Amino acid sequence: MNLLLIEDDPSIVAALELSLTRLGYAVTTADRDPGADLPTLVHAADAVVLDIGLPGEDGFGLCRRIRTFSAVPILMLTARGDDIDMVAGLESGADDYVLKPVSPRVLDARIKANVRRVETTVEPAASSTETLGDLVLDRDAADVLRDGVSLGLSPTEKRLVFAFADHRGQVLSRDQLLRLAWDQDFLGDSRLVDNAIQRLRSKVDSTDGPSHIETVRGFGYRFVP
């Protein structure tokens, strides 16, 4: 598997490059924004591991730029554990948020989980479009629309909507949503779900009505058309 690691701490780069290479990765490294080479490096990668605190443009900006031309899995690797930073990372288009220090084997598992999830997402569906309330889900195009206009959801937000559509009327726990949208059984942080749901509500709810995503206290979330 080809991995692009963008990290400015040489000790972390050396340790992860050595460990991940032993686990079978072909690792390409950069210590900052690669500039004009970014599209070439990203298109050659199966996944990107991205630090936030980079010299020059930070990881948030770099992630947003990658999302303009690629749906490659992006994992934020950072020492920042605040909810605000996690929300900013996911808002910028990252698929996962991994806190330092992390063992190479855990990082390996998180990378593979995100790559598997993308491969599953792009499998052709039996039917191209379906409706969920006033939303139209186009699985072939991996998009969610209202009134013919794309809602501009991130890859994670789209997977959450697809998960709710596959389990209509059901309450889905945070663990279930981690498995369905992040393909993680035990490595994920439930705050990922809460933060992603909060962002998703801001995009799929109308300003003058109740939320489409109901919180069921003590259980999880349910989509209400």
pTM over 0.85: no
**Mean confidence (pLDDT) of the chain:** 86
- pLDDT of 182 strictly over 80: no
* Residue 89 and residue 97 in contact, taking contact as beta carbons nearer than 8 Å: yes
Q: Within a 10 A sphere around the Cβ of 178, how many other Cβ atoms?
A: 21
- Shared domain check, 186 and 100: no
pLDDT one-digit tens code per residue, 24-73 = 999 999 999 999 999 999 999 999 999 999 999 999 999 989 988 888 88
Q: In this structure, what CATH number is given to the domain that contains residue 202?
A: 1.10.10.10
Q: What are phi and psi of 110, to 5 degrees?
A: -70, -40
Which has the minimum average pLDDT: 80-89, 179-188, 208-217?
Answer: 179-188
- Shared domain check, 30 and 8: yes
Mean pLDDT of 172-184: 83
Mean pLDDT of 167-196: 80
Q: In this structure, what CATH number is given to the domain that contains residue 12?
A: 3.40.50.2300
Domain-terminating residue out of 120, 154, 188: 120
Mean pLDDT of 144-162: 88
- Shared domain check, 113 and 7: yes
- Shared domain check, 158 and 102: no
- pLDDT of 124 strictly over 50: no
Domain-terminating residue out of 93, 120, 147: 120
- In this prediction, residue 223 carries a pLDDT of 93
How many domains does one find in the chain? Answer: 2
Higher pLDDT among residues 225 and 41, named by residue: 41
Mean pLDDT of 151-167: 89
Share above pLDDT 90 across residues of the chain, in percent, rounded to a whole number: 44
**pLDDT confidence of 80, banded at 50, 70, 90?**
confident
Q: What are phi and psi of 208, to 5 degrees?
A: -115, 20
- In this prediction, residue 184 carries a pLDDT of 60
- In this prediction, residue 67 carries a pLDDT of 84
- In this prediction, residue 2 carries a pLDDT of 95
Sort 186 into a burial class: Cβ within 10 Å, 0-12 / 13-18 / 19+.
exposed
Q: Taken in order 125, 126, 132, 138, is the CA torsion positive or negative?
A: positive
- In this prediction, residue 125 carries a pLDDT of 47
- pLDDT of 15 strictly over 60: yes
- In this prediction, residue 97 carries a pLDDT of 85
Q: Which pair of tokens denotes residue 108?
A: 């390996």
d(CA 72, CA 57): 20
- Shared domain check, 162 and 116: no
- In this prediction, residue 121 carries a pLDDT of 56
**pLDDT confidence of 83, banded at 50, 70, 90?**
confident
Mean pLDDT of 95-111: 89
- Give the structural domain span for 146: 129-223
- Shared domain check, 149 and 112: no
Domain-terminating residue out of 86, 120, 154: 120
User: What is the residue type of 223?
Assistant: F
